[in-house]
């Protein structure tokens, strides 16, 4: 019982079992996503819930991140007399990293929690069982629409976040740091490469997928009343945030390493 090796071993086995369960769940979800029937109405509804209603949160995050980025980079680069680099560092930093990652983290909190709580409640109130008895596959009816909607809308949200973030930097740039408006915009535009935006959007799609997957997985497997749903919600948020940060590294590697 108290053998530390046994504790480590048990922990490791539990971890492997959890990874296996998650892989099976992901496999079933993907199979359900790409086979009929397709619930287009539900996909649309989820896009609205996940994407549109997240705009204010993501927009505010991006605005202030862009603003503070401009401020900090200005302070840092003025030590080398390189203040003119502010616009292009802001735009590259936002599109490559901060836009997708911060939007992903906000969505992980907002959307991941909401999905886990909704599906968790459906699980503990036997609504998922009821779906099955009414010959409706819950993977197709519940999981697939959320996965599709999150994977498609997160890149759109990040695109909006990029634009709003650059605007935040621009506002600080011209009002607080005495940049010329035309010069700021020209520098932003000239230094931006397609791959900066593309890599950010791919990241966004990956993050959106992971958030919905974690929300669905933990919601689906919640048990035992309100407390169980609460735990599922917490687990969904924590695991999606961790996976976002881990996958962020690997997508970056895939895009930018030689």
Check if the beta carbon of residue 236 is closer than 8 Å to that of residue 214. yes
Please say which residue, 9 or 37, places its beta carbon nearer to another protein: 37
Angle between helix 194-220 and 144-175 (nearest 10):
140
Residues across the chain: 258
Please say which residue, 95 or 121, places its beta carbon nearer to another protein: 121
The minimum distance between CB 134 and another protein, in angstroms, equals: 4
Number of helical (H) and strand (E) elements in the chain, helices listed first? 12, 0
Dist. CA 192–CA 197, nearest whole Å? 8
Return the number of other C-beta atoms located less than 10 Å from residue 82's C-beta: 13
The answer to the question of residue 129 lying near another protein (CB under 8 A) is yes
Single residue of 25, 38, 141, 191 touching another protein by CB under 8 A: 141
Single residue of 20, 24, 75, 126 touching another protein by CB under 8 A: 126
Give the DSSP letter string of 227-249. HHHHHHHHHHHHHHHHHHHHHHH
The answer to the question of residue 18 lying near another protein (CB under 8 A) is no
Please say which residue, 126 or 193, places its beta carbon nearer to another protein: 126
Please say which residue, 30 or 171, places its beta carbon nearer to another protein: 30
Return the number of other C-beta atoms located less than 10 Å from residue 8's C-beta: 10
Single residue of 77, 137, 247, 248 touching another protein by CB under 8 A: 137
The minimum distance between CB 126 and another protein, in angstroms, equals: 4
Summarize as ranges the residues that interact with another protein (CB under 8 A): 118, 122, 125-127, 129-137, 141
């Amino acid at each position: 019982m108290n053998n530390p090796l046994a504790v480590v071993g048990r922990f490791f086995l539990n971890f492997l079992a959890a990874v296996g369960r998650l892989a099976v769940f992901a496999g079933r979800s993907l199979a359900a996503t790409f086979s009929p029937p397709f619930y287009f109405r539900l996909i649309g509804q989820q896009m609205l819930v996940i994407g549109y209603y997240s705009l204010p949160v993501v927009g505010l995050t991006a605005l202030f991140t862009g603003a503070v980025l401009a401020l900090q980079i200005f302070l840092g680069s003025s030590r080398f007399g390189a203040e003119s680099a502010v616009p292009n560092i802001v735009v590259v930093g936002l599109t490559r990293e901060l836009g997708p990652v911060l939007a992903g983290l906000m969505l992980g909190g907002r959307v991941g929690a909401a999905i886990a709580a909704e599906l968790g409640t459906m699980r503990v109130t036997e609504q998922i069982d009821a779906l099955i008895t009414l010959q409706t596959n819950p993977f197709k009816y519940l999981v697939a629409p959320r996965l599709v909607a999150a994977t498609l809308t997160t890149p759109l949200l990040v695109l909006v976040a990029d634009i709003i973030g650059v605007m935040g930097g621009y506002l600080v740039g011209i009002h607080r740091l005495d940049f010329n408006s035309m010069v700021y915009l020209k520098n932003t535009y000239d230094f931006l490469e397609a791959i900066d935006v593309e890599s950010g959007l791919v990241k966004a799609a990956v993050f959106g997928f992971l958030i919905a997957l974690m929300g669905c997985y933990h919601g689906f497997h919640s048990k035992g009343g309100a407390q169980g749903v609460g735990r599922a919600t917490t687990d969904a948020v924590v695991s999606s945030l961790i996976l976002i940060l881990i996958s962020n590294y690997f997508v970056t590697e895939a895009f930018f390493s030689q």
